[in-house]
Amino acid sequence: METHPDRVERAQKKYEELFGQPITPSPTDPELMDILQRFIFGEVFYVGSLDDRTRELITLTALTTIQTLPQLTAHTNAALHIGVAPIQIREVVYQCAPFIGFPKVLNALDAVNKVFESRGIKLPLESQATVREGERFEKGREQQAPLYGDAMKQNMRTLPGEFAETIPRLLTESGFGDFYTRKGLDLKTRELMIFCGLVALGGTERQMASHAVGNLKAGNSKETLLAAMVQLYPYIGFPRVSNAINIIKDAKID
């Protein structure tokens, strides 16, 4: 007996809400597409209390991280269709840079910007920077300390020579000073997207553990994190999601 006997109808409804058109049968792989669409749009989108805009931002984060650009194009259109602001889309992609590197972010932006241009959205979008060049460390520290304290500095203190100071400083200035200080995403959303990106990236259990706690401190509940993991499952597979779920289970604020 199926858990969701109405998932075919729910999938059609949700797909139309997101993409503005009905599901059409695949001419080459109709069986796989039925499985995919009924699972994602008939089940996954109904698990947890995340709204559809947040779900699409999670999906964009995952697709940027794993560099599946055709799907990123489709979901950028879907996000815009349901009212996600272009600034939010851009900021979610920008926020991936400290974790996946700038080249992959540039690849993703190329796909996203083509969608923007096709929909008449003028580029460049409005600047969201709030920090002047000489303030990056100070302002970054203001964002970093409440969530993560000086853990990175302590972890790096035994490195030889200049690296003990330089590496944690670079993290504070770039990861927090350049990105956390930007407008366009609130802190809860930013932390949630970072955690989702780390899960999608894989091999980041240590960083996931830290950012799971960061999410709790930022105000995201474990229920929110678990709903985000269900949303990620169709895009990155269950092994990485399972690893993240175990980390979420163990996360706690000291």
Same domain, 150 and 164: yes
Total domains in the chain come to 3
Task: Please check whether residue 104 lies inside any domain of the structure.
Answer: yes
Say if 3 falls within a structural domain: no
- Overall average pLDDT of the 129-145 stretch: 97
Do 119 and 213 fall within a single domain?
A: yes
Q: Is residue 188 located within the same domain as residue 252?
A: yes
Q: Name the average pLDDT for the chain.
A: 96
Is there a single domain that holds both residue 64 and residue 103? yes
Mean pLDDT within 30-42: 98
- The rounded distance, in Å, linking the Cα atoms of 148 and 142 is 11
For residues 95 and 111, membership in a common domain is answered with yes
Residue type, 97: A
pTM over 0.85: yes
pLDDT at 1: 40
Residues 39 and 164 in one domain: no
Residue 58 belongs to some domain of the structure = yes
CA distance linking residue 102 with residue 83, whole number of Å: 27
Per-residue b or e along 73-103, where b marks 16 or more CB atoms closer than 10 Å to that residue's CB: bbbbebbbbeebebbbbbbbbbbbbbbbeee
Q: Is residue 2 part of a domain?
A: no
Amino acid found at 228: A
Residue length of the chain: 254
Whether residues 112 and 57 share a domain: the answer is: yes
Q: Of the ranges 1-10, 122-131, 136-145, which one carries the lowest mean pLDDT score?
A: 1-10
Let me know whether 114 and 156 are in one domain: no
The model's pLDDT over 67-77, given as tens digits with 9 standing for 90+, comes to 999 999 999 99
Domain, as residue range, for 94: 51-126+184-254
